[in-house]
Structure formats: C-alpha cells, structure tokens
Structure 1
Amino acid sequence: MDIRAVLFDVNGALIDIQTDERMEEVYRAISHFLTYQGIRLHRWEVCDLYFAVMKEQFSANRETYPEFDVVEVWREVLRRVATDYTRTLPPDKLETLPLFLAEVQRGIARKRLALFPQELEVLDRLKARYALGVVSDAQTAYAVPELRAVGLHAYFQTIIVSGDYGYRKPDARLFQKALDALQVDAAKAIFVGNDRYRDIFGAQQVGMKTVWFCSGLHPNNSHAAEPDYIVYRFADLPEAVDFLAAR
C-alpha cells in the first residue's frame, strides 16, 4: 500500500496528559480573579455556572456528535454575571477575557503534560517519510499551546481541532478535513489513536487504516471497532506503519 500520511489523535496518543476540570482549585482561582473584574462569586457558583452554560451549548447543538466551544462558554458566563464595573473595563480586555479564563482553567486543571518514551525519535523518522497531521477532540485554546509546550507543534502540517467546528469524532468530516488539507486520499493514510470508537471507528468511516495505541489512557470501549494494528508503546509505531504500508 502506498502510504502518504500518518495522522494522530492528541490526548492519550501524542501527549501523556491528565486533567481534572472539576478540581476545586480551578474555580477558586477563577473566582478570586473575577473579583478584580467587578464580579464576586463563590468558587462553586463559578463551577456550576460554567458547566450549566456548557450543557446549554450542547443541548442547542444539533450535530450527531456535538462539541462545545470553551471560549464561548466563558464569554456567556461573563455576559451573565458582568456588573456595571465589568462593563467599564477596556474593550480589548473584555474581548480577551474568555480566552484567558479558558487558558487559566486548563492550566490549573492539568496534572500531567508529557511525551511518551522515544516519541520525538519516532516522529522524526515518520516526518522524513510521510506527511503528518492531527485530528483532536479538544479546544484550540489549549490543544495547540500544549502541542507547542512539549515540542510537537512543528511536526504537523495540519491540526484539526473539534472545538473549532461544533462536532467531534467519530464524525467523518473531521478526518476528511485533515486529509483534504494534506491532499492525501484516505486509502493512503493511517490514523493513530487511543480510542477505539472516536479514533478507530471514526477513521475507518473515511477509509483510513488504523493503529490503536494502548497508551494506558484509552477508554474502555474495546467493542467499538477492530483496528488494523495495535501497539503498546509509541516506540513500536514505525513497525506498525511499515506493516500496513507493506499490505
């Protein structure tokens, strides 16, 4: 098989990450920050309002696999609790506050952000032979900065993030957007992911070959789809790609 591209999921497949968006410290910090914007809320009021607005956003979304927009969630939170003082803040500050809150929320919620062993060596080998891309169920507000933080951003010719489109994997359109950006046919591409439903089933819908990376961060949905190859270490990925390319 003439393989031209290898595409990846991010969390659990490219990045060893752990977060806790319900962590009390997240909303304590945001609550304290908001007092300087003229907004006085208890940390649990901030938390409850954030998740209520997110739920509303999901409910209003008519996609089969809906995705939320974290920046717009925080924008709506601010709109609902803004005081007269808040509305006197400089327009530039008001415009950037939702993104800032999304970044602060993610930064405090993050417990681990690391690469898998030998990952850069593997990506160097793959980049020399194939176009590389990303299709991630995430938010650009933190997915792209996290890729940069661990030194991965420059490896990829295209990065597709579900939060920018309002729908998430396994929606085939996300995979197709990445393939179109790389100008590669699905039959000549491999997708690497840690989720057998969102990643493996999703990529198979458009005709891609698939590698399931059992990274220890994979959800328990093993019944969802059968991958073409399974790896338990990132270091074994070149072997998987070579095997599929030879078929």
Structure 2
Amino acid sequence: MYKNYIFDLYGTLIDINTDENKQELWEILSSFYSYNGAIYSADELKKSYLNKAKKYYEANKSEAPDIKIEKVFEELYLDKTLDISQELILSTCKLFRILSTKYIKLYENVKPLLEILKKQNKKIFLLSNAQREFTLPELEYLDIKKYFDGIYISSDYEVGKPSVKFFEELIKKEKIKIKESIMVGNDYRTDIEGAERMGMDSIYLHTNLSPDITENIPAKFKIYDNDILKIPSFE
C-alpha cells in the first residue's frame, strides 16, 4: 500500500494551453517594460528574451536543464540600466504568464481525488518541470496548493525530470521511502522514466497533453480513460 503520492502538474492535474509566440503578448509586454522605464519594441523584446533564455539553458550542463525565468526578465531591465525591485520582476513574470495563457483549468475530478487521498492519510507531493513564478500563483488560483505536503519545482533546482537528481531532492528532504511511494504523470519520457530510474512505481495517466506514445510505457498502472478516481485503488 502506498503512503506517498507524487504528482506531476501540467498535463496531469492541470490542463493548460499557452502560446508565447503571439504578437499581442510581446506588444503588451514591451509597453509594460517601457512604462517602467525600459524602452523596448515588441520585436526587440522578444528577440532579447529568447537569446537570454537560450544562453541560460546552454550554460546549464544538467541532463534535464531548467532555468530561473525571473533572471531573464530581470536582465531585460538591467540591460536598460535600471534599478529595479524584486516586486517588479515578479509582476513581470505574472504578466507574461497571463498574456501567454489561452486557458488553464483542472482536469475532471482532481479535487475529489486529492480529497480522497487526504482522507486516507496519504502524503501528497508535487514534482513539476515548471517555473516557480508561474506555478505557485496558478496553484493558488485553482485552489489546490493546500493539498500538497511538499512542492518541488524544477526551476528552483535548475534540473528537472527525468533526472534522478530532481527526484532525490524530494525523497531526501521529505525522508520518504521509495517503495512506499508512487509517481503519477502524463509524460512517459519524464514522469514514468524518471520514476523507473529511481526504482519507484508509477501510474501513467494519458491526457490531451501527453506526448505521442512511441514505445512501451514501463508504468505499473496505466489509465487511458481519464478516470483518475481509479488511483486510490491501485496497490
């Protein structure tokens, strides 16, 4: 019987659609920068943003590299020799995310599932390849942050799934046993492969955001019909 449930977030609990290439995003964001003293055209801002993000990713030699996206937004201000506050940087992160998001919502029965696991005295953890400055506000907005006993986001460690290093951050800090834990995720290349490397059981949840399946999925359990309420019955 599992004591610890480790969930992926986007594509597993949250259904989201984003577009960071739309022109309107960069036009509004460039106006925001300009209103705060950093004068950019939309095209200049987009080009600079992409180049800086690429620089950070290329400098990270991890197997599954991630970056702190707030550093990119900060540099875009610093390039215009501005003295800026942390509050402004975080506000810029939030605005970028809002402008790029077409929709965000919970999958069906997410809250009932988490309620069931809580009533069974299970520990619930989040292990997400994501940006903290995007994810924490979205957990609050969708009212599910309260269910997690621990939240682990790849940008904090600059490494993500399927790297063993990212899984070990959670396992060591929470002092949980691998054999008492199970990973739940929609991506067989990150969630399921990562769990397999750790010797951890996993549940593959096929959703609209799952990558196309091109190989056998080594998960102990598999759900293809979106019925996540099956999860508490798996042992």
Alignment partners' CA distance in 1, 2:225 and 2:88: 40
Cα distance, 1:233 vs. partner?
A: 4.5
What is the DSSP-based 3-state SS (H/G/I as helix, E as strand, rest coil) of the residue aligned with 1:81?
Answer: coil
Deviation (angstroms), 1:241 = 4.1
Over residues 50-80 of structure 1, what are the superposed CA-to-partner deviations in whole Å (9 max), with x where a residue is unaligned?
0100000011112121101110111122212
C-alpha offsets along residues 120-146 of structure 1, whole Å, 9 cap, x if unaligned?
111110122210000000011011111
Distance in 2 (alpha carbons) for counterparts of 1:165 and 1:39: 29
- Contact 1:169–1:199 (8 Å) recurs in 2: yes
Matches within 5 A, 1:58-207: 58-82=57-81, 86-87=82-83, 93-129=84-120, 130-207=122-199
Cα distance in 2 for partners of 1:182, 1:238 equals 25
Q: How many residues align?
A: 234
Identity rate, percent? 26
What is the match of residue 239 of structure 1? Answer: 230
In 1: Cα distance, 2:181 partner to 2:144 partner: 20
**Conserved in 2, the CA contact under 8 Å of 1:195 and 1:221?**
no
Structure 1 distance, partners of 2:174, 2:3, is 9
* CA–CA separation in structure 2 for the residues paired with 1:114 and 1:40: 34
- Which residue is equivalent to 1:208? 200
C-alpha distance in 2 between matches for 1:162 and 1:117: 25
Match of 2:8 in 1: 9
Q: For each residue in 1:131-186, what CA deviation from the matched residue of structure 2 results, as whole angstroms up to 9, or x when unmatched?
A: 00000000110111111111110000001000001111111122222223433211
Structure 1 equivalent of residue 46 of structure 2:
47
Question: Distance in 2 between the 1:223 and 1:55 partners?
Answer: 30
Q: 1:162 to 1:42 in 2, by over 3 A?
A: same
Give TM-score, length-normalised by structure 1. 0.89
- Partners of 2:105 and 2:224 lie apart in 1 by 17
Q: CA deviation at 1:223?
A: 2.1
Question: Is contact 2:109-2:228 (8 Å) kept?
Answer: no
CA distance in 2, matches of 1:222, 1:131: 32
C-alpha distance in 1, partners of 2:157/2:137? 18
Q: Residue 110 of structure 2 contacts residue 228 of structure 2 at CA under 8 Å; is this kept in 1?
A: no
Counterpart-to-counterpart distance in 2, 1:36 and 1:224: 52
Report the residue type matching 1:3 in the other structure. Y
CA distance in 2, matches of 1:192, 1:43: 39
Residue type of the partner of 1:17?
I
